[in-house]
Amino acid sequence: MTVYDWFVSLWRTVIPTLVGFAATALAHVYIDVDEQALATALMAGFITVYYGLFRFLEARVNPKFGWFLGLARPPAYPTKPTPAQQPVTRNPNSSYGPPPV
């Protein structure tokens, strides 16, 4: 993963958190309950719904919905090569096959 991809993944986490905080603050204006647990639960719920909704829309409808997560491009994670793709190296000190010349 490149530094840019790491930044993208972090940024796309920060944006839903900020939106969740703002939505919780707005909901707290209309809900007259002064409990920290309720505010925490509301924020977690808003973050989860917000991220899930825009991630779904980005993947299924239009990649431009990614802008609601901060950037329109999700991070690219490298794939690990399968065992068939890995090069086979032979240890010259092994007892398999003829001795090296």
Q: Which helix (H) or strand (E) holds 58?
A: helix 36-60
What's the CA gap between 27 and 89, in Å, rounded? 62
Query: One-letter amino acid identity for 89?
Result: T
What local confidence, expressed as pLDDT, does residue 34 receive? 62
At residue 99, the pLDDT reads 57
Q: Write out residues in the chain with pLDDT < 70, as ranges.
A: 1, 31-34, 37, 75, 77, 81-101
